C-alpha cells in the first residue's frame, strides 16, 4: 500500500518544471503514458490553470494582448490561481491516493517572478506557503535546456505568450534560477538534462519517478498490485 511520507497524503505529488521550450509537455505525455500502461491513472494538470478560475487567470496572465502589470501584481495572480488549484485539484486527489503530476507549480513563481523578476525570494516563499498551505511536491523534475539557441528554435514555431515575449536576458535569468532552485531544495529537486534526445530524457525521468513511487510504497514490478493500490 502507498505510504504517507512527504506531503502527508497517501498519493504522490510530482511537478515538472523548466524554462519555456524545454520539452515539458512532451515529457508529461510520455510519463503519463508509462504510468497508464502500468494500470495507474495519474491526474495530469498544469499551472497556471487546472481549475476554471485558474484558467481565466491564465488567460489574463499569458495573453500577449493583456495589459502590462507590475511584477508584484503578476505574482499575486499566480498565487491566487495556485490557491484554487491546490484546494480543488491537488489535495483532494492526493487524499484519494492518486498520483498528481503538474506541469509547473510554486517553483515557477520562485524562478520567474522571484529570481528573474526581482520580487524578493522571501516574499515569494511566504506567498507560496500561503497559497499552497505548505504543500510541497514529493519530487520536482527540472528540465534544463542549456543553450538559448535551442530554446529559441523550439519556441520559434509557436505564437509567443506574454511571458515568452520577455527579453533574452530575462529568460537567461530563468535558466539560472532553476539551477539555484536545485541547490535550494536538493531533497526534492532532480535536475534533468533536457538537451539529450527525447528517449534518454524520458528514461531519466522514469527512473526518478520509479524511485519516488517505490519510496512511497508502490510496487511497480507488480502491475496488478499497482492498480489495486489506487
Ligand atoms: P506554459 O504553460 O506554456 O509553460 O506557460 C506558462 C507561463 O507562465 C510560462 O512562461 C511560465 C509562466 N509562469 C510564471 O511566470 N510564474 C508561475 O508561477 C507559473 C506557474 C508560470
Q: Which long-range contacts (CB under 8 A, 24 or more apart) does 164-173 make?
A: 164/20, 164/21, 165/64, 170/116, 170/117, 171/19, 171/20, 171/116, 172/148, 173/115, 173/116
State if residue 164 touches ligand 1 by the CB under 6 angstroms criterion: yes
Q: Whose CA is nearest to atom 13 of ligand 1?
A: 108
Which atom of ligand 1 lies nearest, measured to the CA of 163? 10
Q: Give 154's contacts (C-beta < 8 A, 6+ positions apart).
A: 21, 22, 23, 145
pLDDT of 230 above 50: no
Share above pLDDT 70 across residues of the chain, in percent, rounded to a whole number: 89
Q: Is the CB of 163 under 6 A from ligand 1?
A: yes
pLDDT attached to residue 21: 87
Going by the DSSP 8-state scheme, the letter that residue 221 receives in this structure is T
Cβ atoms of 157 and 188 closer than 8 Å:
no
* Full set of structural domains in the chain with CATH: 12-228 (3.40.50.300)
Q: Is the CB of 55 under 6 A from ligand 1?
A: no
Q: Please tell me the predicted confidence (pLDDT) of residue 36.
A: 94
Average pLDDT rounded to a whole number, residues 39-66: 95
Give yes or no for residue 8 having a pLDDT over 70.
yes
**Least reliable range by pLDDT among 11-25, 51-65, 101-115, 149-163:** 149-163
Ligand 1 centroid, distance to 20 Cα (angstroms): 8
Looking at residue 79, its pLDDT comes to: 98
Query: Measuring from atom 3 of ligand 1, which residue has the nearest CA?
Result: 20
Residue 168 confidence (pLDDT):
87
Amino acid at each position: 500500500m502507498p505510504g504517507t511520507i512527504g506531503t502527508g497524503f497517501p498519493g504522490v505529488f510530482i511537478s515538472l518544471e523548466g524554462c519555456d521550450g524545454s520539452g515539458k509537455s512532451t515529457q508529461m505525455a510520455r510519463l503519463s503514458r508509462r504510468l497508464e500502461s502500468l494500470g495507474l491513472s495519474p491526474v495530469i494538470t498544469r499551472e497556471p490553470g487546472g481549475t476554471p478560475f485558474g484558467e481565466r487567470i491564465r488567460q489574463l496572465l499569458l495573453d500577449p494582448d493583456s495589459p502590462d502589470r507590475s511584477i508584484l501584481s503578476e505574482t499575486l495572480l499566480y498565487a491566487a490561481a495556485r490557491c484554487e488549484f491546490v484546494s480543488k485539484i491537488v489535495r483532494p486527489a492526493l487524499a484519494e491516493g492518486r498520483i498528481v503530476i503538474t506541469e509547473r507549480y510554486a517553483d515557477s513563481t520562485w524562478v520567474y517572478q522571484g529570481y528573474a523578476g526581482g520580487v524578493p525570494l522571501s516574499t515569494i516563499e511566504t506567498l507560496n506557503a500561503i497559497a499552497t498551505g505548505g504543500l510541497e511536491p514529493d519530487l520536482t523534475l527540472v528540465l534544463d535546456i542549456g543553450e538559448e539557441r535551442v530554446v529559441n528554435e523550439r519556441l520559434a514555431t509557436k505564437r509567443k505568450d506574454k511571458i515568452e515575449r520577455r527579453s533574452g536576458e530575462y529568460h537567461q535569468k530563468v535558466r539560472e534560477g532553476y539551477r539555484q532552485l536545485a541547490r535550494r531544495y536538493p531533497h526534492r529537486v532532480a535536475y534533468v538534462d533536457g538537451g539529450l534526445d527525447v528517449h534518454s530524457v524520458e528514461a531519466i525521468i522514469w527512473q526518478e519517478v520509479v524511485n519516488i513511487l517505490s519510496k512511497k510504497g508502490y510496487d511497480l514490478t507488480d502491475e496488478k498490485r499497482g492498480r489495486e493500490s489506487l
